[in-house]
Structure 1
Amino acid sequence: MRFFKKTWLIIALLLAFFACRKSTIATWDVDVVFPILKSELNIKNFFGDTIFKTDNNGLLHLAATRTITAIKLDSLISLPDTTIVTNFTIPAISYTLNAGQFIENVFLQPSELTFSVGNGAQLKTVAIRTGKLKVTYSNGLTEPLRLIYTVPNAVKSGQLFTIDDVIPPGNNSLVKEYSMNGFVFNLKTGNLYNTVIQTYSIQNAGAQPVIIPFGAGVTAEISYADIVPEYAEGFFGQNDIEIKADTTKLDIIKSFTATNFMLADANLEFRILNEFGCEFSGNLSDIKSINGNSIIALSTNQLSNLNINRATRSGSQIYPSVRTTSLLANNSNIVPFLSNLPDKLTYKGNITVNPLGNLSGYNDFAYYNTGIKVLADIDIPLKYNANSFKLVSTTKIDFGNVTQLDNVNYGQFIISALNGYPFSAKLQAFILDKNGIILDSLFVNGLNTIAGGSVNNLNEVIASSSTKINVPLTQEKIQHLKSAEQVRIETVFIMPPNPPEIKILENYLIDLNLVAELNYTAKRK
């Protein structure tokens, strides 16, 4: 289809050239003939060369890789929003705090904060990519108090996470948020995991001594929120992650249909890349090939009970493990599945984290933006049975402002083709208005077919065939072109009788020449 799109662009440029001529007075009609395009094409020009490869026999294969699904770090492990309320009060006795004096440490002992991670996960290290700590302070005294809150387990660039604020007297007298970005938390405290230590210091920040009555002091509501890990290490627990039913687009061959199409062979290789430092087991199911209303379910037992090894690392370099499962004609219905020419796949599945438990000894690891990726490597040898293919594409055009079109009286475009493919090609281009309504067609039905190459009894091309097609350009077509906004190009490839299967070889080519013959009214002062 790229060839025809390119042709429309060249025609537009030529008409624009005539439009740039100065307006004149004297007129006469001239016949002009000029070449538009000469090109040697193969099938890659119609579909894009990046999806083709060639085997040792010269047979073209359609080859493509598509990502089916991906599971990221946030699906594996997360630190939930956690809020604690801490009262910094004097128990049992009243206490006088002079100006600038700190409350004695005996009254403010370090405390533990444990994150409820879930699924039995026991984390020892988490680096924070983004996150915040929100604190709402209340001061029940008459003087401002300075609070120094430190998390010795949280370090960034060698500095501990520390809050140092002066809290005015009053209820909810100060509300602040603090960035946790870039801090690394050591969550192993003694024999505890998922836990940090918090220390506190309180100082009289006022100019006068203050008496702290029994039960009075500072209250701080501390909330860890929206924490996104950059890195996590520990034991990630044992849990099931559901891969919910979903659909992925393939977009291998667009706007392509076929009748009575069946491949001779095909294979699809599922590659599961695990970038996490933990083991998994899992399965994929309910995989369907969808092409419009045509749906074919995949039948195979190859995608059940998949065991996936952990990734390894050297420093910060991750080496994913790869689990490959090949679906072939002898272990699945992959040939009819891909013969459906799917434009999308549906699927679902599930995975189990650490099915055998804590094999790593608390050394599971995961990094942000890594995960488990399920890739589909599709390989389709272009050897098949079919009656015909149809390719359709729509291109925008704008000849409305090309006033010199009015000076074209009549003419034609001549397509000369030397076809080395085993199929013939019937061409048509429909001129459409802005609503997609057909205004006209360019090719003359019955005179718009490029003959296929001559084939032997194996449907292999033994000689190219020559065809010439005339595309008339009448005044009516010119007016339709001026009012059109789109052109829909339809190409029907008609196969020779089969079996045997038709093969598309890399050395098959089609030579195309496009020439314009126009009668044009020229003007001169």
Structure 2
Amino acid sequence: MKMKFLFLSLLLICGFYSCKRELEQPSWEVGVVGPVFHSSLGLNDLLADSLIQVNPDSSITLVYSGNIYKLALDTLLNLPDTTIADTFQLPAIVPSVNVAPGAQLFSQTDEQHFNAQGVELTQIDLERGFCYVTVFSTIDQPVDFTYEILSATKNGNHFSTVITVPAGSVANPSFTTSVLDLQGYSFDMIGQSGTDFNAYSTKIVIRMSNQAQPTQVHNYDKVIISSTYSDLFPSYAQGYFGHRTESIPGESTAFDLFEKIISGSIDINQVDVNLVIRNYVGADARITIQQLQASRGATSIDLNHSIIGSTININRATDPNGYPVPYNYSVHMDNGNSNIDQIIELLPTQFTTSLEMEINPLGNVAAHHDFIYGSHTVEADLNVELPLSLIANELTLVDTLHLSLSKGENGYVTEGNFTLDIENGFPFAGDLQLYFMDGNGTPTDSIVVPNSFSAGITNGSNIVIANSHSQIQVHLNTSQMDRLYAGDDVLLKVKFSTSSLLQHVDIYDYYKINIDLRGNFNYHIGKP
């Protein structure tokens, strides 16, 4: 919000004088009076260029796109923790064997399966994931445990690690736990047959440590291994995601277009909104939106539009270059076919969506080539085009200024009065206030008195024909200046209303607000 520009400019003056060249005189205070700066601000200075569309008649349309829904990855692909346990010991018919350092005791290759909750995976690349391995041993000398995941590769090498387990006994087995980081590994899940799914191969080798002493291993000695795969999150997965229907209860998403507005109301003349559903998943779906609710605090409004309760066919995404290209489905909403104007007038800060999704309604048509890329799932955006023709009634915006101001080695401002001369060419009148904030973020004393500015003078069509003139005073006493130098946050609060509360007021590209800042302040020359 560019209104903070005014106050920051004032602080810039303080910083400028604090950086003057050191003078020979030791220390004194002087009074400084004069103009500080002049600025002329249009709407393009107050809002980001990406939000503004200037129409042929110079009227302005606010253009905004914001996300209101994102399907959680685990709705499509959930890999719960999987634990596998193995026990290794000599056959009962072999009482004992003599072993030397480095001798191999056991070797075993297995094919394991993830529980993928009905999903048939042929490949999964891990953005993150861990395997927690605990090894118990009753052998009276240290042993080396080699754990290989033959199906998991990274940089051309399959996963392999060696864990040394200290000497133990039957009465007091030794054990060790290791956390294996699987980030960046790609799992081939088709198994040894090449036609399986959710399968991966492991190899376990147990041998006497090279640091061990010659000993006997008995048939009552055991090496017990427990491996738990946990927190698996894919950067990519491929397979068949199954044919199933998921009922997804209300999931809420923050909406930031109006996040700095704390109170007041608007009445808009017209709004055009496109609800765009983007499917980044390589699987077809049928979606039924059961509820789309906008809310602000305790107040909420449900969308009333024909899309609610209707089944939408969503085609699968493609990935021609190793990155998903979404399928987009768009629905247009305006004042005539919905209550979208009431939703925008609510100034919502959150949207909650409930829906039902049928995944792969036609079955395994891609022959186990469904895909998903990490957090790219199914999303919904609101693309808003809001002509700035509105009634605003005490619309109040706030912003926090995080200041960084230090006393210069050669001098600093101790206190002062600043006057903002405002020529307002906008059809808005309002109040501007600045508050210091305490350590708890609570506003304390204000520093702007009086704080009102008048709307531009309008004709019968609510078009500004002349600027209004107002003055705003900013007084900073010694204590307040010390708070600025100490880095206290300042809360900027602006409350404004349109020149008419009965008719919609249009905002034009050529409207300007001219600001002159004059100062009358004391400056301490010398070191603090």
TM range (shorter): 0.7 to 0.9
Report the counterpart of residue 383 of structure 1 in structure 2.
Answer: 389
Would you say the 8 A contact 1:96–1:209 is kept in 2? no
Report the counterpart of residue 487 of structure 2 in structure 1.
Answer: none
- 1:459 counterpart (462, 471, 488): 462
Could you tell me how far 1:442 is from its partner in structure 2? 1.8
- 1:442 counterpart (441, 446, 449): 449
Deviation per residue, 1:356-387 (Å, 9 max, x gap): 32221111122334333332222211112455
Do the aligned partners of residues 23 and 487 (structure 1) sit closer, same or farther apart at CA in structure 2, a change above 3 Å counting?
Answer: farther
Root mean square deviation, CA, Å? 4.5
Would you say the 8 A contact 1:53–1:60 is kept in 2? yes
Do the aligned partners of residues 289 and 15 (structure 1) sit closer, same or farther apart at CA in structure 2, a change above 3 Å counting?
Answer: farther
Would you say the 8 A contact 1:265–1:335 is kept in 2? yes
Would you say the 8 A contact 1:395–1:487 is kept in 2? yes
Could you tell me how far 1:75 is from its partner in structure 2? 4.3
User: Within 5 Å, which residues of 2 pair with 1:39-188?
Assistant: 39-89=39-89, 93-94=93-94, 99=99, 110-118=109-117, 120-129=118-127, 130-138=129-137, 150-162=148-160, 170-171=169-170, 172-177=173-178, 178-188=180-190
User: Within 5 Å, which residues of 2 pair with 1:284-363?
Assistant: 284-292=289-297, 294-304=299-309, 305-363=311-369
Would you say the 8 A contact 1:302–1:327 is kept in 2? no
SS at match of 1:9: helix
Do the aligned partners of residues 391 and 464 (structure 1) sit closer, same or farther apart at CA in structure 2, a change above 3 Å counting?
Answer: farther
Do the aligned partners of residues 395 and 519 (structure 1) sit closer, same or farther apart at CA in structure 2, a change above 3 Å counting?
Answer: closer
Distance across 2 between alignment mates of 1:127 and 1:265: 47
Could you tell me how far 1:166 is from its partner in structure 2? 7.1
Could you tell me how far 1:134 is from its partner in structure 2? 0.8
Deviation per residue, 1:249-290 (Å, 9 max, x gap): 42436236445x321111332323322222233344443333
User: Within 5 Å, which residues of 2 pair with 1:372-521?
Assistant: 372-386=378-392, 389-391=395-397, 413=419, 415-417=421-423, 419-421=424-426, 423-429=427-433, 436-438=443-445, 442-443=449-450, 448-455=452-459, 457-461=460-464, 463-467=465-469, 469-470=470-471, 489-496=493-500, 498-499=502-503, 501-516=504-519, 518=520
SS at match of 1:37: strand
Could you tell me how far 1:337 is from its partner in structure 2? 1.3
Structure 1 window deviating more from structure 2 (63-72 vs 85-94): it is 85-94
Would you say the 8 A contact 2:65–2:383 is kept in 1? yes
Do the aligned partners of residues 270 and 286 (structure 1) sit closer, same or farther apart at CA in structure 2, a change above 3 Å counting?
Answer: same
Aligned residue type for 2:131: K
Could you tell me how far 1:7 is from its partner in structure 2? 4.8
SS at match of 1:314: coil
Distance across 1 between alignment mates of 2:164 and 2:12: 74
- Greater Rg by CA: 1
After TM superposition, the score normalised by the length of structure 1 is 0.76
Deviation per residue, 1:314-353 (Å, 9 max, x gap): 2523222222233222321001211222233344434343
Distance across 2 between alignment mates of 1:519 and 1:221: 77
- Structure 2 unaligned blocks of 5 or more: 485-489
Could you tell me how far 1:56 is from its partner in structure 2? 3.7
Structure 1 window deviating more from structure 2 (284-293 vs 159-168): it is 159-168
SS at match of 2:190: coil
- Structure 1 unaligned blocks of 5 or more: none
In the comparison of the two structures, how many residue pairs are matched? 497
